[in-house]
Amino acid sequence: LFKSLDENTLFSRPTYAALLNVLDNYKRMTGQAESFSSQQITEQETFLKETMLNTKLGRELYGLLYTKGIYGSESEFIEDLKNMWFGLYSRNNNVLDSSGFEHIFAGEIKGGKVSGFHNWIQFYLNEKRGVLNYYSHSFNGPWSNYPDVLGLQFMWDGYYKQVGSEVIGSSPEFDLAIYTLCYIARPGKQCRLSLGGTELIIQTYTWDNSSYGNGKKYIASAYPVSM
């Protein structure tokens, strides 16, 4: 899928560097418990702060949610996102083996198939390593250039993904902000957005089998809808 990418320029940016540090912290097989070192927990916190506090996009999202009375401070905002995105729950075998971040950004294997995996940077990295084989796309739109949405078919190290949609060419802060906004505003539903006058539809899912805080729901999945 990817012919070239200026990694030196792109991956040196703080939000991209922070994403790369978190992506390799997971066991992709569901049913295998996740555990994090203090360094890996710091990497999670750095990713949230770089994307949500140190970018214009992230600050705008916080400002919107603050004016709506959802969060009263930046620290409350970041703490809730840490639970919502990185809090662990069980998809298989009654062990804490999954999180919203792992499912959406890193991808998982469940029932012999790829589950989640909706991030183009993870796709690029695995294709470059030779462990991901892009087959085709069944959807290309709604934009005529990148960033754009593709509905992809691929094989990830022997495991098949029939349709995996992702925004190609978007920044880590864009993906995290747009999924967070839609999850908070339209949890478990389709979220219709206008970006530059073009409609983008995001589908989110809540994790209903466990919760954090005062009955809050972890994010189970989020991705752009491909028709």
Annotated active-site positions, please? Answer: 103, 118, 161
Q: How many CB atoms lie within 10 A of CB 58?
A: 26
From residue 182, give the alpha-carbon distance in Å to each of 83, 107, 221.
Answer: 17, 20, 11
Nearest-angstrom CA–CA distance, 204 and 187: 6
Question: What are the percentages of helix, strand and coil residues in the chain, rounded to 5?
Answer: 35, 30, 35
Torsion of CA 41, 42, 46, 52, to 10 degrees: 50
Q: What are φ and ψ of residue 43, in 5° steps?
A: -65, -40
Nearest-angstrom CA–CA distance, 212 and 218: 7
Nearest-angstrom CA–CA distance, 156 and 123: 9
The three-state DSSP-derived secondary structure of 92-113 is CCCCCCECHHHHHHHCEEECCE
Continuous segment of H or E residues that includes residue 184: helix 172-185
Beta bridge partners of 147: none
